[in-house]
């Protein structure tokens, strides 16, 4: 039965009891696993209410208070305990079967190892508890298990005791000195290979670093270890933050619902974000590992030392930590490329979320299933909001604000307002209007109209803003609007950040000799849609002269997008398609410009995806879009053939990630123009000494539908059949095929020996990839893609509701599609709504989508 009770931020109440200490005793015995929890509980304030704890999917064996059987009631996942005591010890005994737990929340098994995932509300699947982030307790954990099968028994904090219970069983005891909320609790028991190293903090303390991986994978743990060391060093130098325990552990498991989890001192990671060697991981994988290892490490201060008062404040830790990991990657690698990738997530995914039924402010006001709010809005728009504060305050004031935040709140569970207050106090800058970013949903539209007055040598910009979310109009926001003005020779006249605070404002620039070309909203200085009518000449000028590399990329996206939409219009008007020679020349110039960062050129030549283009318009004719997009890319590739071949041939000789990225995009473009280049593809595939190059060759073969495709795919499969993370890449490639047969093939692949519906990585790589990235085939007019996704969701609704709710996204973002497709998507949602056992996770999204239908 669905329990679909929404919780509201406005109803927040402080806890009426608190728990200062908890001693957990795990007796790991498969389906008969027992947990004894002894908590020291204190009544808060004067009241006579019962103590109400929450628990799910566990069997209660006994309840004692101060050693005596207690008076309790267990109903609807709540354990209500009546007592007049103000300060007491509660002992609970519960049993559960981790092997039967396919939701991967609470205590479960991954490939024979026990592990836990408690955020957001998984601890209640371990014992009845005050499972809310504003109850902070000191944890002591005893784990007992079979010695041979589980040589490593891990939990948070420091190992204080270890011994044998019998010949076959051993125990350990861990103590975490830092009070923490239950969502940061973790336990792992298993047999692993272990990579050990250390880090000396700037105050001279030695921290033991451990990375645990599945047996046989030790050689793939180095990059994660180095990334951890770099993260520790960076947090000291840029944020003045030092690690606080004597040990930091990372465990990689293959069965995991998301990327990783920042449990205190014991991070649990998806293998995807740990394991790498050049043979099996791409440059992109290496970058992802560095960024996620950093992200989880940075949580130790922004999340663990200072945590959230309630889950509505999730962006307090996530927005801030994403901002920190983005800065980490940008300080270590290319700032422009990292920024471009972050902008893509915002424009392609977050804007779509904000335009759909799941639109919510970065601090949501109402939630049914908390797991549904680990969103691109809370994380990525949340990070943009922190970035805007950073832009408004500047690095120095921002760091003073961080310092003030930790001085005030270390060891506490606080709100987003507390963070903004600290920034305001430390900088002296008024952030009153800025706070609207936390409470308002929707993507603001910033419209710019410019005018040049030759007599007075004045250039004038009128900037207006408006935001509506689900029909509700919002208030003006404080928008840092970064701009550069370029003269006709490409020289910068000014580069500054305007403070836009009103519904409409005019900015005047004096001593401007001629109409300049404006680079607007540089580097995406605010998460808004920019509405300004650029013409082709202006965009070409910007691709050549904008000081910001990100702005050059943006201008190229503008050129490409305009070309596609003009051709869509031509198709609708039954006119011939055409590509402006100026666009071709601009792209040719970029391919030939040796002074440009190769990684940037690769980003430019990646051209906006169908999904990215759909985000630019209100409604879409998918068939016309496909034809127009393919036409523009083909025209560009054909026109630049010689240049692409030349650059490809010289790039082959270089051995670095940026050159590989540029070279591989050349190969993809060449392979779509003519089968003449098939030789280059097979040559690269066979000569490749790293996964980046072999996978790129394979991609070129699949996207160009070359005859070698089948042979290469079969070769790859046979080579990597025992490496699950590489098979994920193969599954995604299969799912990426833009052919009508792809759905039949996907169905067959769910029977493949490497595939399992129980493993989220496999499900995401095959089915998740198809629904999210194979836009044309998923949205086939027959509705077959929608029906298939619905069949899968029915299955996952029982197996793993969190994954089901993640994958439903393309089915609820239907507003831009034609009536026929919309009707078919809605029919699928109705089918889900009728399920007798619909999970809270799917219920919340299906209901919202149907409300907006
Ligand atoms: N905090 C975790 C995410 C937990 C998701 C729960 N459904 C990972 C992270 O953001 O670092
Ligand atoms: Zn996080």
Q: Which ligand is nearest to the CA of 760?
A: 1
Using the CB atoms, write b or e for 803-841: b if 16+ within 10 Å.
bbbbbbbbbbbbebbeeebeebbbebbebbeebeebbbb
**Which residue from 476, 473, 537, 468 is spatially nearest to 502, judged by alpha carbons?**
476
Cβ neighbourhood burial of 642 (10 Å; 0-12, 13-18, 19+)? exposed
- Locate 446 and state its tokens: 């910033």
* CB 146 within 8 Å of CB 234: no
What per-residue confidence (pLDDT) applies to 4? 82
Beta-carbon contacts of residue 271 (< 8 Å; ≥ 6 apart) = 213, 214, 252, 253, 254, 256, 724, 725, 761
- Locate 301 and state its tokens: 């201060």
What per-residue confidence (pLDDT) applies to 2? 43
CA–centroid distance, 119 to ligand 1, in Å, is: 6
What per-residue confidence (pLDDT) applies to 145? 98
Q: Domains along the chain?
A: 14-191 (2.60.40.1730), 192-300 (3.30.2010.30), 307-439 (1.10.390.10), 445-533 (2.60.40.1840), 721-853 (1.25.50.10)
Beta-carbon contacts of residue 471 (< 8 Å; ≥ 6 apart) = none
Q: Which atom belonging to ligand 1 lies closest to the Cα atom of 262?
A: 11
Rounded CA separation 629/277 (Å): 36
What per-residue confidence (pLDDT) applies to 675? 85
- Locate 295 and state its tokens: 């992200």
Distance of CA 423 to the CA centre of its chain: 25
What per-residue confidence (pLDDT) applies to 470? 85
**Which residue from 144, 193, 138 is spatially nearest to 171, judged by alpha carbons?**
144
pLDDT single digits (tens) 642-679? 999 999 999 999 999 999 999 999 999 999 998 899 99
Three-state secondary-structure class, residue 202: coil
Residue nearest to atom 5 of ligand 1 (CA): 119
Residue range 380-392: mean pLDDT, rounded: 99
Rounded CA separation 834/853 (Å): 16
What per-residue confidence (pLDDT) applies to 184? 99
- Residue 419: CB atoms within 10 A of its CB come to 27
* Confidence bin at 360 (pLDDT 50/70/90): very high
Three-state secondary-structure class, residue 367: strand
pLDDT single digits (tens) 68-80? 999 999 999 999 9
Rounded CA separation 502/647 (Å): 48
Rounded CA separation 587/569 (Å): 22
Beta bridge partners of 117: 106
Task: DSSP for 591-621, please give it.
Answer: HH-TTS-HHHHHHHHT---HHHHHTTSSS--
Q: Which atom belonging to ligand 1 lies closest to the Cα atom of 257?
A: 7
Residue nearest to atom 7 of ligand 1 (CA): 371
Residue nearest to atom 8 of ligand 1 (CA): 261
Q: Is 472 left (phi over 0), alpha (psi -120 to 50) or beta?
A: beta
Three-state secondary-structure class, residue 481: strand
CA–centroid distance, 826 to ligand 1, in Å, is: 30
In this predicted structure, the answer to whether residue 173 has a pLDDT above a threshold of 70 is yes
Give, to the nearest 10 degrees, the angle between helix 691-703 and helix 283-298. Answer: 120
Three-state secondary-structure class, residue 129: strand
Which of 266, 268, 313, 318 has most ligand 1 atoms within 8 Å of its beta carbon, as the pocket-test mutant? 318
* Confidence bin at 3 (pLDDT 50/70/90): low
pLDDT single digits (tens) 40-78? 999 999 999 999 999 999 999 999 999 999 999 999 999
* Confidence bin at 92 (pLDDT 50/70/90): very high
Q: Which atom belonging to ligand 1 lies closest to the Cα atom of 299?
A: 11
CA–centroid distance, 440 to ligand 2, in Å, is: 22
Q: Which ligand is nearest to the CA of 263?
A: 1
Computed on alpha carbons and rounded to an integer, the radius of gyration of the chain in Å comes to 28
Alpha-carbon torsion, ordered 298, 299, 304, 309, to 10 deg:
130
What per-residue confidence (pLDDT) applies to 1? 43
Is the dihedral angle over the CA atoms 602, 382, 404, 424 positive or is it negative?
A: positive
Give the largest Cα separation in the chain, rounded: 95
In this predicted structure, the answer to whether residue 26 has a pLDDT above a threshold of 80 is yes
- Pocket (CB within 6 angstroms of ligand 1): 119-120, 258, 260-262, 295-296, 299, 318, 371, 374
Residue range 203-223: mean pLDDT, rounded: 98
Mean pLDDT of the chain, nearest integer: 98
Note if 365 is an active site residue: no
Residue nearest to atom 3 of ligand 1 (CA): 261
Query: HSE on the CB side for 325, CA within 13 Å?
Result: 28
Distance of CA 406 to the CA centre of its chain: 26
Rounded CA separation 28/78 (Å): 24
Beta-carbon contacts of residue 202 (< 8 Å; ≥ 6 apart) = 236, 242
CA–centroid distance, 328 to ligand 2, in Å, is: 14
- Locate 122 and state its tokens: 């998984």
Q: Is the preceding omega at residue 663 within 30 degrees of 0, hence cis?
A: no
Residue nearest to atom 9 of ligand 1 (CA): 261
* CB 142 within 8 Å of CB 189: no
CA–centroid distance, 181 to ligand 1, in Å, is: 14
Count, residues in the chain: 853
Which of 105, 374, 802 has most ligand 1 atoms within 8 Å of its beta carbon, as the pocket-test mutant? 374
The CA-atom distances, in angstroms, between 93 and each of 61, 114, 547, 570 are 5, 19, 64, 71
- Locate 512 and state its tokens: 């401007």
* Beta-strand pair 529-531/445-453: parallel
For the chain, the first-to-last Cα distance in angstroms comes to 24
Residue range 274-293: mean pLDDT, rounded: 99
Rounded CA separation 180/139 (Å): 8
Which of 262, 760, 802 has most ligand 1 atoms within 8 Å of its beta carbon, as the pocket-test mutant? 262
Query: HSE on the CB side for 560, CA within 13 Å?
Result: 27
Rounded CA separation 512/196 (Å): 61
* Confidence bin at 258 (pLDDT 50/70/90): very high
What per-residue confidence (pLDDT) applies to 852? 86
Residue nearest to atom 1 of ligand 1 (CA): 261
Residue range 444-467: mean pLDDT, rounded: 98
CA–centroid distance, 255 to ligand 2, in Å, is: 18
CA–centroid distance, 296 to ligand 2, in Å, is: 6
What per-residue confidence (pLDDT) applies to 141? 99
Q: Which atom belonging to ligand 1 lies closest to the Cα atom of 259?
A: 8
* CB 783 within 8 Å of CB 821: yes
pLDDT single digits (tens) 571-615? 999 999 999 999 999 999 999 999 999 999 999 999 999 999 999
Which of 125, 250, 260, 301 has most ligand 1 atoms within 8 Å of its beta carbon, as the pocket-test mutant? 260
pLDDT single digits (tens) 812-838? 999 999 999 999 999 999 999 999 999
Q: Which ligand is nearest to the CA of 321?
A: 2
Selecting among 296, 424, 554, 603, the annotated active-site residue is: 296
What per-residue confidence (pLDDT) applies to 853? 81
């Amino acid at each position: 039965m669905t329990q679909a009770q929404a919780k509201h931020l406005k109803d927040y109440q402080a806890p009426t009891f608190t728990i200062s200490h908890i001693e957990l005793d795990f007796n790991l015995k498969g389906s008969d696993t027992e947990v004894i929890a002894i908590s020291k509980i204190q009544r808060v304030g004067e009241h006579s209410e019962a103590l109400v704890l929450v628990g799910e999917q566990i069997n209660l064996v006994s309840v004692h208070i101060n050693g005596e059987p207690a008076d309790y009631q267990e109903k609807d996942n709540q354990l209500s305990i009546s007592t007049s005591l103000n300060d007491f010890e509660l002992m609970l005994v519960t049993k559960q079967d981790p092997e039967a737990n396919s939701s991967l929340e609470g205590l479960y098994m991954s490939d024979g190892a026990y592990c836990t995932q408690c955020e957001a509300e998984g601890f209640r699947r371990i014992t009845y508890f005050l499972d809310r982030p504003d109850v902070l307790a000191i944890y002591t954990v005893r784990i007992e298990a079979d010695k041979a099968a589980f040589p490593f028994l891990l939990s948070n904090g420091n190992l204080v005791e270890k011994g044998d219970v019998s010949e076959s069983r051993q125990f350990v005891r861990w103590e975490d000195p830092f009070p923490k909320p239950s969502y940061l609790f973790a336990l792992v028991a298993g047999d692993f290979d272990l990579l050990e190293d250390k880090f000396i903090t700037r105050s001279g303390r030695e921290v033991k670093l451990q990375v645990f991986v599945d047996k046989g994978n030790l050689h793939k743990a180095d990059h994660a270890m180095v990334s951890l060391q770099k993260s520790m060093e960076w947090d000291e130098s840029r944020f003045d933050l030092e690690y606080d325990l004597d040990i930091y552990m990372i465990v990689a498991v293959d069965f995991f619902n998301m990327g990783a989890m920042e449990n205190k001192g014991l991070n649990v990671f998806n293998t995807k974000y740990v394991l790498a060697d050049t043979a099996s991981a791409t440059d992109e994988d290496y970058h992802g590992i560095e960024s996620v290892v950093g992200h989880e490490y940075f949580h130790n201060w922004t999340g663990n030392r200072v945590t959230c008062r309630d889950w509505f404040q999730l962006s307090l830790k996530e927005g801030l930590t994403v901002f920190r990991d983005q800065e980490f990657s940008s300080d270590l690698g290319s700032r422009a490329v990292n920024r471009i990738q972050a902008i893509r997530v915002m424009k392609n995914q977050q804007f779509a979320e904000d335009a759909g039924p799941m639109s919510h402010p970065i601090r949501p006001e109402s939630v049914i299933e908390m797991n549904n709010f680990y969103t691109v809005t809370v994380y990525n728009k949340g990070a943009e909001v922190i970035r805007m504060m950073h832009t408004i305050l500047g690095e120095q004031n921002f760091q003073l604000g961080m310092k003030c935040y930790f001085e005030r709140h270390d060891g506490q569970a606080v709100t987003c307002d507390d963070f903004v207050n600290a920034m305001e106090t430390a900088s002296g800058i008024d952030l009153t209007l800025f706070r609207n970013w936390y409470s308002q949903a929707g993507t603001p539209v910033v419209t710019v109209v410019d005018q040049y007055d030759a007599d007075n040598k004045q250039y004038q910009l009128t900037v207006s803003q408006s935001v509506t979310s689900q029909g509700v109009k919002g208030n003006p926001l404080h928008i840092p609007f970064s701009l550069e003005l370029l003269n006709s020779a490409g020289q910068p006249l000014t580069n500054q950040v305007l403070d836009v605070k009103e519904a409409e404002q005019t900015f005047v620039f004096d001593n401007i000799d001629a109409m300049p070309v404006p680079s607007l909203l540089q580097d995406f200085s605010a998460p808004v849609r920019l509405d300004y009518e650029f013409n082709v000449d202006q965009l070409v000028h910007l691709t050549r002269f904008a000081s910001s590399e990100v702005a050059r990329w943006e201008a190229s996206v503008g050129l490409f997008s305009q070309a596609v939409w003009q051709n869509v219009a031509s198709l609708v008007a039954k006119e011939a398609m055409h590509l402006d020679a100026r666009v071709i020349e601009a792209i040719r110039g970029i391919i030939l410009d040796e002074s440009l960062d190769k990684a940037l050129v690769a980003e430019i030549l990646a051209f906006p995806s169908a999904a990215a283009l759909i985000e630019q318009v209100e409604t879409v004719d998918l068939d016309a879009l496909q034809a127009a997009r393919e036409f523009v890319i083909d025209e560009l590739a054909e026109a630049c053939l010689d240049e692409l071949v030349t650059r490809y041939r010289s790039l082959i000789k270089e051995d670095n990630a940026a050159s590989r990225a540029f070279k591989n995009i050349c190969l993809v473009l060449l392979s779509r123009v003519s089968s003449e280049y098939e030789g280059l593809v097979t040559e690269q595939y066979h000569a490749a000494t790293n996964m980046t190059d072999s996978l790129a060759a394979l991609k070129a073969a699949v996207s160009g539908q070359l005859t070698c495709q089948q042979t290469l795919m079969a070769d790859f499969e046979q080579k990597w059949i025992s490496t699950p993370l590489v098979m994920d890449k193969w599954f995604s490639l299969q799912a990426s095929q833009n052919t009508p047969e792809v759905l039949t093939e996907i169905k067959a692949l769910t029977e493949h020996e490497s595939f399992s519906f129980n493993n989220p990585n496999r499900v995401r790589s095959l089915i998740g990839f198809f629904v999210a990235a194979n836009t044309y085939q998923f949205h086939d007019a027959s509705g077959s893609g929608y029906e298939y996704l619905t069949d899968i969701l029915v299955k996952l609704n029982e197996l793993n509701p969190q994954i089901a709710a993640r994958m439903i996204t393309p089915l609820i973002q239907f507003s831009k599609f034609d009536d026929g497709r919309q009707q078919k998507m809605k029919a699928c949602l109705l089918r889900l709504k009728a399920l007798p056992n619909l999970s809270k996770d799917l219920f919340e999204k299906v209901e919202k989508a149907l409300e907006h239908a």
